[in-house]
Structure 1
Amino acid sequence: MMLGMALKMAKWFLALLSLFVFTFFAVRIYNSQRGLPLDVWHTYAPQELSKTEIDAADWEAYLEAEAKIFASLRTNVSQQLTPEEQVPFNRYFEGSPVYPGHFARDWNRSYLLEPAGPPIGAVVLLHGLTDSPYSLRHIASRYRDRGFTVVAIRLPAHGTVPAALTKVEWETWLAATRLAVREARRRAPEPAPLHVVGFSNGGSLAVKYTLDAIEDKHLARVDRLILISPMVGITRFARFAGLAGLPAMLPAFAKAAWLSVLPEFNPFKYNSFPVNGARQSYRLTDALGTQMSLARREGRLTALPPVLTFQSVMDFTVSTQAVLSGLYDHVPANGSELVLFDLNRNVKFGPLLRSSAESALSRIVPPRVRNYRLTVVTNAGEGTDDAVERVVEAGATAERTQALGLQYPKGVFSLSHVALPFPLSDSLYGLTPDQTEDFGVHLGSLAPRGERGTLIVSLDALLRMSSNPFFSYMAQRIEEHLPARPVGDATEQGGERVQSPPQAAPPRRGLPSTAPDNPAAASGDRPAKKRSHR
């Protein structure tokens, strides 16, 4: 009797499970077939170097392979567009103002910046998912001006077509990270400091490489980590992202391989996003979490270099809480620091603001003693947009406050995941874009009004804060940890930064023969006040 009842329950369970699976895939197929059709940039994926090939390559070989990839894009994408696809804001149309190939520099490609004199250090820049080397160009110029060689690599499957992300695996990104570090160390050998800056998905790669280098003596050790909105933890849905793409195994349901299919009007970032992109990000963060736990149990985290992280309290892409629980709760007392940008508490949105947002900061960082310095950038008080930093030193609980001489812009209720590496003056993403530089569109200053359902992209995407009013503060905090600038490279006069004209580097095979163009000629945001306590 008991056996019969167990069999009956098992049959009911299997029936319910089958119904759930059928419903899941039916809904997934239905949703995937709605919206825009797949275009050639969703179906053609250029051939990237494999993990093994990247590990065997040097910087010049990587750039040569990259040049072939971009040539293939012109042949297989730009020259294959139908008349309907040859529209002004298609980044793959050669007649478009946002076509990257017409700019003075195509920031989708890997680049190397060198200081005027001998380098005193090297830094590797790792951009985010769906992103390109454009995203860290302002940080790059700051390092270059301070005498560092800058290696900014285009991670495989980025900067080309979104279809490339349907084929890539995260191990290939890590191989590219190793290559970039090898080149950085070749140009600035020890004992010159080696820094790694990682934005978003690049942040998880930066931490992963750092842990690998602690375990493998053949890898160059990192002296300092700078993380910007690091993807240490992402949403639980990403764990099951691979299931969402299963219907795409049937050609009729190819769109199921995509979480979003959108027009590509951003010259330096994909708008469309495939399932595999989410899946690889999850696999990377999962591998990082496993390695972090093992390193903690075996006592290897004592070898971690100092970590400086900048993170918005409000972040819809990554888990701010995971930055603490997955990383900072385990760093040794080595001079690390976490800088959080609070929401603007002077914006009076009343019931429009979620109660969870109002209390997010206190939930994330309750009062306690920590191994790292905690800095919160927030309003000076009620009724003011003026910003202050509230600092609690490592090992302490007392808080001190200092004015920054900066403000939250009117109407901006918070920063965002994507905003941090861009000053307000960034020509593409800035709220007050620099008019001397033109990438065909000023996405950060758009303020559309009209009827819902009219635009082909969501208003969320257009209204998301995409530049950082505190960029000058962030840059200053990074520069505090750099060696003294060499004589003749730049000088300080009355608190203003005065650069010597950059000297052109000798032409290199596969490298641009000119010195870096002007990635941050007019940073636009107000300079932060000098910090008296550092």
Structure 2
Amino acid sequence: MAILAVLVLLGIRACQSTQGPPLRPWHTIVPVELSANAIRKSNWPAYVEAEKRMFDSLHLRLQSEMEPSDRTPLNRYHDGSLASPGAFERDWNRSYVLEPSGAASGVAVLVHGLTDSPYSMRSLAELYRQHGLVAIVPRMPGHGTVPAGLTREGRKEWEAAVEMAMAEARRRSADCLPVQLVGYSNGAALAMLHVMRRIESGLPGDVDRVVLISPMVEVNRFARYAGLAGLPAIFGRYAKSAWLDVLPEYNPFKYNSFPIRAARESYLVTADLQAAMETVARQGRMAQVPPVLAFQSVVDDTVTADGVMTRLFDKLPANGSELVLFDVNRKRILDPMLRSSATGLPSKALQTSSRSYTLTLVGAVSGDDPAVVARSRLPGAHALQVQATGLNYPNDVYSLSHVALPFPANDPLYGNVPSGRRVIQFGTIAVRGERNTLVVSQDSLSRLSYNPFYEYMAVRIVAQMPLAGTGRQKVSESRCGIAL
């Protein structure tokens, strides 16, 4: 009976895949990238050079296979469009390094998220550079090119790319300067997985502090079985069943179309992370985990704040880690429109004093005052610490979102401060009309794309950076090989 039900569902899935817009070249052309084994044997210069060759080849093929109807003002693959990466000062889809103006006080490796690109780490990388650290931002294989890239590349290649970037960080730090590992969304899971893999393998730690943005430590349960939904794709007529979404590509640095395999691979990253954490715990080595500072919206359509607490932070040792939660807008007029699941968690979480990490809630205290404060409960503390931020909760924002956190309001792509450039800017989009008319969801266009509290987050991250000229004081003696 169960087999029959599965066959019926697969039949329905196959029929559904024949509807909607056809696949375009960016859905069918699969770039050839280095294998996971080749990446591990490579180094940063070789990886960047292979990346350049791949991008050049892909661009030529796309231009030859696109039809006139594909050359629209909002197609990222049409040179000269408002969504073209060429409209920016550099193609942020590619791996890059930002160098400080003087001697480096440390090194930071920043790992972007699923369907994203190195652009999403642009502002944070610049923050690290400005404060004297070398910022290394690798492009995860399958990203920054065409959505079809994620039908081939997956977690093994992503893990290898993180390892390769961390090897470059160790080289630049000479195993003496502090190294920070920063991860956003799926990149956060990859960052923690790198840390846990080294510990469980008995390798010396190569990270002094971890910073996580919207950490994807769990995903929707559907992702576990997503591969089944793509089975009809083995027959050419049902090729679109391999995709959860087939949409116009109007974002220069992030895919809108989403292949099923990417969901499955992302789930497997989180599963691998949980397994690695369990292994490290059994080995009695959790004390080797470096301090973790994470930022998370209390409402997140990708990963729940409760999941971040229970599946990650509650398992960490008492090592000075901190989870910062961005609250919803408590304005009275909005309160009746918010689901109780969005408003209940924050106050309940702050009541617990038995955690081994600091929990901080950033938001307004009451519905009558938009002033945002940071309320923190330190491990074992009975009283809350309250600190003013100097920020107000924007009237037109009811919550942050999973994708918003790494982008300041003046981001030229995602911010709401007009950039003056001839490019699309998602934070300023306001489209109105009848529902069920657009090929993209109205929710996706109205989803908050920037962080109104980015300044607070930046201050907190900077406070954890090594000071110029004093990097060695924060590195263990075993790492540096000198007396501190």
The alignment's TM-score, normalised by the length of structure 1, stands at 0.85
Gap change, CA 1:347 and 1:132, over 3 Å in 2: farther
Gap change, CA 1:397 and 1:343, over 3 Å in 2: same
Write out per-residue CA displacement over residues 316-357 of structure 1, whole angstroms, 9 at most, x where no aligned residue. 012322211111111111110000001111162355322222
In 2, the alpha carbon distance for the partners of 1:449 and 1:183 equals: 48
Gap change, CA 1:362 and 1:29, over 3 Å in 2: farther
Q: Look up the SS of the partner of 1:264 in the other structure.
A: coil
| Of 263, 276, 279, the match for 1:291 | 276
**Aligned Cα root-mean-square deviation (Å):** 1.6
**AA matched with 2:173:** A
Gap change, CA 1:370 and 1:482, over 3 Å in 2: same
C-alpha deviation, 1:104, in angstroms: 1.9
Task: Show the 5 A alignment for 1:445-460.
Answer: 445-460=428-443
In 1, the alpha carbon distance for the partners of 2:21 and 2:332 equals: 37
**AA matched with 2:6:** V
**AA matched with 2:276:** Q
Gap change, CA 1:22 and 1:341, over 3 Å in 2: same
The aligned counterpart of 2:178 is 193
Q: Look up the SS of the partner of 1:141 in the other structure.
A: helix
The aligned counterpart of 1:531 is none
**AA matched with 1:100:** P
**AA matched with 2:58:** L
The aligned counterpart of 1:358 is 343
C-alpha deviation, 1:456, in angstroms: 1.6
Write out per-residue CA displacement over residues 274-316 of structure 1, whole angstroms, 9 at most, x where no aligned residue. 0000000011111111111121122111100000000000000
The aligned counterpart of 2:12 is 27
Gap change, CA 1:378 and 1:451, over 3 Å in 2: same
In 2, the alpha carbon distance for the partners of 1:159 and 1:146 equals: 27
The aligned counterpart of 1:155 is 140
In 1, the alpha carbon distance for the partners of 2:57 and 2:203 equals: 35
Task: Show the 5 A alignment for 1:320-335.
Answer: 320-335=305-320
Task: Show the 5 A alignment for 1:211-360.
Answer: 211-216=196-201, 218=203, 221-346=206-331, 348-349=333-334, 351-360=336-345
In 2, the alpha carbon distance for the partners of 1:300 and 1:347 equals: 47
Task: Say whether 1:469 aligns with 2:452.
Answer: yes
Task: Say whether 1:106 aligns with 2:91.
Answer: yes
Q: Look up the SS of the partner of 2:415 in the other structure.
A: coil
**AA matched with 2:450:** S
In 1, the alpha carbon distance for the partners of 2:187 and 2:382 equals: 32
Instruction: Give identity over the alignment, percent.
Output: 49
* 2:87–2:423 contact (8 Å) kept in structure 1: no
* 2:189–2:269 contact (8 Å) kept in structure 1: yes
Write out per-residue CA displacement over residues 218-254 of structure 1, whole angstroms, 9 at most, x where no aligned residue. 5652100000001101111111111111111111100
**AA matched with 1:322:** G
Write out per-residue CA displacement over residues 150-190 of structure 1, whole angstroms, 9 at most, x where no aligned residue. 10000100000000001112011000000001111111212
Q: Look up the SS of the partner of 2:325 in the other structure.
A: strand
C-alpha deviation, 1:360, in angstroms: 3.1
* 2:142–2:154 contact (8 Å) kept in structure 1: no
The aligned counterpart of 1:182 is 167
Task: Say whether 1:87 aligns with 2:90.
Answer: no
Consecutive unaligned residues of structure 1, counting only runs of 5 or more, are: 1-15, 488-534
In 2, the alpha carbon distance for the partners of 1:428 and 1:347 equals: 32
C-alpha deviation, 1:407, in angstroms: 1.2
Gap change, CA 1:360 and 1:32, over 3 Å in 2: farther
* 2:186–2:215 contact (8 Å) kept in structure 1: yes
| Of 104, 107, 123, the match for 1:122 | 107
Write out per-residue CA displacement over residues 379-402 of structure 1, whole angstroms, 9 at most, x where no aligned residue. 032212210010111222311212
Aligned residues: 470
Write out per-residue CA displacement over residues 450-494 of structure 1, whole angstroms, 9 at most, x where no aligned residue. 11122221001001011001101101001111122359xxxxxxx
C-alpha deviation, 1:366, in angstroms: 5.0
* 1:368–1:397 contact (8 Å) kept in structure 2: yes
The aligned counterpart of 1:481 is 464
Task: Say whether 1:77 aligns with 2:62.
Answer: yes
Task: Say whether 1:58 aligns with 2:54.
Answer: no
In 2, the alpha carbon distance for the partners of 1:171 and 1:288 equals: 13
**AA matched with 1:378:** G
Moved more, 298-307 or 362-371: 362-371
* 2:401–2:448 contact (8 Å) kept in structure 1: yes
Write out per-residue CA displacement over residues 419-470 of structure 1, whole angstroms, 9 at most, x where no aligned residue. 00001111111122433xx361011111211111222210010010110011
**AA matched with 1:451:** E
Task: Show the 5 A alignment for 1:30-49.
Answer: 30-49=15-34
Gap change, CA 1:451 and 1:477, over 3 Å in 2: same
C-alpha deviation, 1:361, in angstroms: 2.4
In 2, the alpha carbon distance for the partners of 1:347 and 1:237 equals: 36
Task: Say whether 1:442 aligns with 2:425.
Answer: yes
Moved more, 16-25 or 456-465: 16-25
Task: Say whether 1:414 aligns with 2:399.
Answer: yes
Q: Look up the SS of the partner of 1:386 in the other structure.
A: strand
**AA matched with 1:121:** G
| Of 183, 187, 192, the match for 1:202 | 187
Gap change, CA 1:350 and 1:145, over 3 Å in 2: closer
In 2, the alpha carbon distance for the partners of 1:374 and 1:434 equals: 35
Which structure's CA Rg is the greater one?
A: 1
In 1, the alpha carbon distance for the partners of 2:87 and 2:287 equals: 48
Task: Say whether 1:140 aligns with 2:125.
Answer: yes
In 1, the alpha carbon distance for the partners of 2:218 and 2:211 equals: 17
Consecutive unaligned residues of structure 2, counting only runs of 5 or more, are: 471-484
**AA matched with 2:415:** G
Q: Look up the SS of the partner of 1:375 in the other structure.
A: strand
The aligned counterpart of 2:354 is 369
The aligned counterpart of 1:398 is 383
* 1:204–1:232 contact (8 Å) kept in structure 2: yes
In 2, the alpha carbon distance for the partners of 1:36 and 1:379 equals: 44
**AA matched with 1:161:** V
Write out per-residue CA displacement over residues 99-147 of structure 1, whole angstroms, 9 at most, x where no aligned residue. 1135321000000011112211100000000000010111111111111
**AA matched with 1:483:** P
In 2, the alpha carbon distance for the partners of 1:238 and 1:364 equals: 28
* 2:364–2:370 contact (8 Å) kept in structure 1: yes
* 2:80–2:87 contact (8 Å) kept in structure 1: no
Gap change, CA 1:219 and 1:263, over 3 Å in 2: farther
C-alpha deviation, 1:27, in angstroms: 2.3
The aligned counterpart of 1:501 is none
